[in-house]
Amino acid sequence: DQEPMIEQTRELVRAFNNAYNTDVLVEPVGVFPPKGQGRLPGIDGNAKMSKSLGNGIYISDDADTLVKKVKAMYTDPRHINIADPGHVAGNVVFTYLDIFDPDKQRVQDLKDHYTAGGLGDMKLKKHLIDVMEAEMGPIRARREVFAKDIPAVLSMLAEGSKRANAVAEKTMKD
């Protein structure tokens, strides 16, 4: 969704630099995730997470909420029995594992096991919970520290703003 905005900014930078015969502004370059990893689907399998649909996982979610949401994730509706082969395509749990699990070989092994049959959805979801908690737990803890000290956060923002203004003033003078 951001690519058109980046291109607009690039056009503005070129126009400014041409108008003032300078190269003071640098054209931004978009940094995009690998194909298929740009947007997480909602836990219900909808195309995207949405607060209004109530199908998202949030950094503010505690560990118990994360567990409940992962357990409610959409999987393969035809995978009734553990012994049945499952389908990876459209399985939200695998979409999240592809993004969150750093061990790509393990994810591939899970996919192979699932499609061959013998791997249950709850075991798969338990693995995803462990992977996501390992990633989100430290982030959540740091967020909680900041949430308890709003004056410190405001102070950091003010300090950052002062530094940015100093750089901007110098840039504009040059």
Containing structural domain, residue 14? 1-32
pTM of the model: 0.76
73-129 tens-digit pLDDT: 999 999 999 999 999 999 999 999 999 999 999 999 999 999 999 999 999 999 999
Same domain, 83 and 165: yes
pLDDT tens digits for 17-46? 999 998 889 999 988 777 656 678 999 988
Is there a single domain that holds both residue 19 and residue 99? no
Residues 107 and 167 in one domain: yes
In a domain, 68, yes or no: no
Whichever domain contains 88, its CATH number is 1.10.240.10
The pLDDT, as a whole number, for residue 37 is: 61
The answer as to whether 79 is a domain residue is yes
Evaluate whether residue 44 is within a structural domain: no
For CA atoms 105, 111, 113, 115, give the dihedral sign. Answer: negative
